[in-house]
Amino acid sequence: MFKAQQQSKFEPSRDNLAVQIQRLNYFFGAGDLSKQVLFDISLELPKGQIVILTGPSGSGKTTLLTLAGALRRLQEGSLRVLGQELVGLGDRALVNIRRNIGFIFQAHNLFESLTASQNVEMAVELTGDFASKRQQAVAMLSALGLDDRVDYKPQSLSGGQKQRVAIARALVNHPKLILADEPTAALDKKSGRDVVNYLHNLSREEGCTVLMVTHDNRILDVADRIINLVDGRLESDSSLNAFVQSKTKDSLTDISADMFIM
Ligand SMILES: Nc1ncnc2c1ncn2[C@@H]1O[C@H](COP(=O)(O)OP(=O)(O)OP(=O)(O)O)[C@@H](O)[C@H]1O
Ligand SMILES: [Mg+2]
């Protein structure tokens, strides 16, 4: 069922880490209403790894992803992303870091008045490349199976197609780090597979790092590593091989029962 993956060949040195989190705590709310949602998280993601983050609803997965993407400010601990410590960085520096990150979130925020291609082209424009933006957008959309939908507006696309446009927009500039929150949740089996295959190729060919939240056990085989977050704490962190070996054959067919509680 699962394809064996090579063990990571990366040494745990700072230079080849895409993300380095140390002793991170995170709270929502202030004063008496303050609620801690992440507890003492330390985590290193080597460049080029595909890491799946899983855990029950409310365990803090999205919060951790948005912190790693510099979309939230750190409160306690240290967080280095693509070689930069985020603590103390100004807004402008944070924006620059975000430019190297591809975000795939569930709320796809496509512009309704623009076509699929134009939505993706907007991302290319951020790099200053106007000449080939259409070509790049169409190539990316085609790679995700949307070649016959490039000139459709979001209102004429299905939920899964819109999700793929958002994915194309996140990936078109070849980000060094991809943060994906349930990227395949709205997709059928084949589209979901196309998306993860694309992420896998991107990671292998360009060395980009992928941190992906998923409950979809059909795509586990692309992972180098699986991390489980429970009640805001890292409960386990294992290579795919170790993860598979830790499961009996029966439990593997019903992984959702324990690892993927919705
Ligand atoms: N903006 C917010 N204000 C207050 N509490 C929040 C906020 N966002 C999330 N939380 C709380 O923080 C905790 C972690 O939420 P988070 O969205 O990170 O969980 P999750 O693991 O992504 O869950 P799911 O699998 O349902 O998406 C939850 O208890 C949630 O209620
Ligand atoms: Mg979430």
Query: Sheet containing 76-81: which strands, arranged edge to edge?
Result: 35-46, 17-28, 76-81, 84-85
The identity of residue 172, as a single letter, is V
Please tell me the distance between residue 151's alpha carbon and the centre of ligand 1 in angstroms.
Answer: 36
pLDDT tens digits for range 28-37 = 998 888 999 9
Please tell me the distance between residue 226's alpha carbon and the centre of ligand 2 in angstroms.
Answer: 16
pLDDT tens digits for range 152-164 = 999 999 988 998 9
Please determine, for residue 262, whether its predicted confidence score (pLDDT) is greater than 60. no
For a mutational test of ligand 1's pocket, the pick from 62, 233, 261, i.e. the residue with the most ligand atoms closer than 8 A to its C-beta, is 62
In contact, 177 and 209? CB cutoff 8 Å: yes
Predicted local distance difference test score (pLDDT) of residue 192: 86
Q: Which residue has the tokens 């380095």?
A: 20
For a mutational test of ligand 1's pocket, the pick from 25, 37, 64, 212, i.e. the residue with the most ligand atoms closer than 8 A to its C-beta, is 37
* Four-CA torsion 39, 47, 91, 110, nearest 10 degrees: -100
Task: State mean pLDDT over 110-125.
Answer: 95
* Nearest atom, ligand 1, residue 215 CA: 25
Predicted local distance difference test score (pLDDT) of residue 208: 93
Please determine, for residue 2, whether its predicted confidence score (pLDDT) is greater than 80. no
Q: Which residue has the tokens 């520096």?
A: 93
More confident residue, 3 or 235: 235
Terminal-to-terminal C-alpha distance of the chain: 22
Mean pLDDT, the chain, whole residue set: 86
User: Which residues lie closer than 8 Å to 92 by C-beta, 6 or more apart?
Assistant: none
For a mutational test of ligand 1's pocket, the pick from 61, 75, 231, 259, i.e. the residue with the most ligand atoms closer than 8 A to its C-beta, is 61
Please determine, for residue 8, whether its predicted confidence score (pLDDT) is greater than 80. no
Predicted local distance difference test score (pLDDT) of residue 247: 61
Token digits for 19? 């993300």
Please tell me the distance between residue 151's alpha carbon and the centre of ligand 2 in angstroms.
Answer: 31
Predicted local distance difference test score (pLDDT) of residue 219: 85
Predicted local distance difference test score (pLDDT) of residue 217: 83
Please determine, for residue 252, whether its predicted confidence score (pLDDT) is greater than 70. no
Please tell me the distance between residue 74's alpha carbon and the centre of ligand 1 in angstroms.
Answer: 16
Per-residue pLDDT band for 141 (boundaries 50, 70, 90) equals: very high
Task: State mean pLDDT over 68-91.
Answer: 92
Per-residue pLDDT band for 243 (boundaries 50, 70, 90) equals: low
